[in-house]
């Protein structure tokens, strides 16, 4: 899949997820086969970029190319300026968010709320494309609700505006993250646009990926929640679709080492206190399918220092893998 000068291979993309796709997680998913990883969404008001939260979200230091930064907003000039500043800071692709259904975003008429105003969509896309020499991509949903599905029209506006790739989440804004994903609707857009189309929504396994690719005919796939607690899902998908040789999925001690490396990277990235707190959500995803003793699980989740968190993980998981015969 080609986006501007960037060849995305395998065409598997880590979705932008607020509070999840920070630099350590993006780097981990790239290591496990993602062809591209999109940053957490940042507000287009650059006056807010000095805050600690924004500075962490904007950090792309040491990240593999292409570095893709996602911006959200409703004002064309602010979006254009955000794109220019992001480019100056080293972003190589600018992604525009018109898919987020979360109220704190949509109540500001940003994210998926913009799908109700097609002229404004065109103004924003044109302003951002004209502002930078980088490729600009767009992420959308099918529409506001089932009675107002306009993904094809948005795709046409995107083409006319110079957008270079389109990600479609196969739900409407009203659906949020529940209900069946309409892959046929994505296929209909793909059949009528010249843009590379990336299909998104409920892709959690290699079997899911194979089915979605067959139904949609998409050029690439975007994986979000399916990568939480299993960043190796990209390697599984790439092998299933013939894009890479089969890779041994980490088990036992190998998985323990991966988890420890991940949380230690978060401790380093965020600092100890915030790193420990942020690591808890990832640990909950890593542990959710493991029948670990309640006392060990509680010890892992209650740790307050980096040392205690790592020690609790090592003791809890090494004991679990030893008891289940998975330690090798």
Q: Which residues have a catalytic role annotated? A: 100
Q: What is the DSSP letter of 60?
A: -
Instruction: Give the Cα separation of 103 and 162 in Å (integer).
Output: 29
* 150: its two tokens: 């306009």
Which of 274, 259, 265 has the alpha carbon at shortest distance from 305?
A: 274
**Backbone φ and ψ of 324, nearest 5°:** -95, 0
CA dihedral 54, 60, 62, 64 (to 10 degrees): 150
Q: Which residue spans within 73-214 are E strands per DSSP?
A: 93-98, 136-141, 166-169, 197-200
Instruction: Give the Cα separation of 101 and 116 in Å (integer).
Output: 13
Gyration radius from the chain CA atoms = 20
* 217: its two tokens: 């005919």
Instruction: Give the Cα separation of 130 and 124 in Å (integer).
Output: 10
Element at 71 (helix H, strand E):
strand 68-72
Residue with tokens 């990568």: 227
């Amino acid at each position: 899949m080609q986006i501007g000068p960037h060849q995305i291979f395998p065409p598997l993309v880590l979705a932008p997820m607020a509070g999840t796709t920070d630099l350590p997680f993006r780097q981990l998913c790239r290591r496990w086969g993602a062809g591209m990883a999109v940053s957490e969404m940042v507000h287009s008001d650059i006056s807010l970029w000095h805050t600690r939260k924004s500075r962490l979200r904007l950090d792309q230091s040491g990240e593999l190319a292409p570095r893709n930064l996602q911006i959200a907003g409703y004002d064309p000039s602010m979006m254009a300026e955000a794109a220019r500043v992001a480019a100056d800071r080293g972003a190589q692709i600018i992604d525009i968010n018109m898919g987020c259904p979360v109220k704190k975003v949509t109540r500001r008429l940003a994210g998926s709320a913009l799908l109700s105003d097609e002229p404004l969509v065109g103004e924003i896309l044109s302003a951002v494309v004209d502002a930078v020499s980088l490729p600009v991509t767009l992420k959308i949903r099918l529409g506001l609700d089932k009675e107002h599905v306009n993904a094809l029209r948005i795709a046409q506006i995107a083409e006319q505006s110079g957008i270079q790739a389109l990600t479609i989440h196969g739900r409407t804004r009203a659906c949020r993250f529940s209900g069946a994903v309409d892959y046929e609707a994505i296929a209909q857009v793909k059949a009528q646009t010249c843009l590379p189309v990336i299909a998104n929504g409920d892709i959690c396994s290699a079997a899911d990926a194979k089915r979605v690719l067959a139904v949609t005919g998409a050029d690439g796939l975007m994986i979000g929640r399916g990568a939480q607690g299993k960043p190796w899902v990209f390697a599984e998908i790439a092998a299933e679709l013939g894009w890479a040789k089969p890779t041994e999925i980490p088990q036992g001690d190998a998985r323990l080492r991966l988890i420890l490396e991940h949380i230690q990277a978060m401790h380093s990235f965020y600092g100890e206190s915030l790193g420990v707190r942020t690591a808890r959500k990832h640990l909950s995803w890593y542990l959710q399918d493991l029948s670990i003793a309640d006392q060990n699980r509680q010890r892992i989740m209650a740790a307050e220092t980096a040392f205690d968190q790592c020690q609790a993980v090592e003791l809890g998981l090494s004991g679990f893998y030893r008891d289940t015969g998975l330690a090798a």
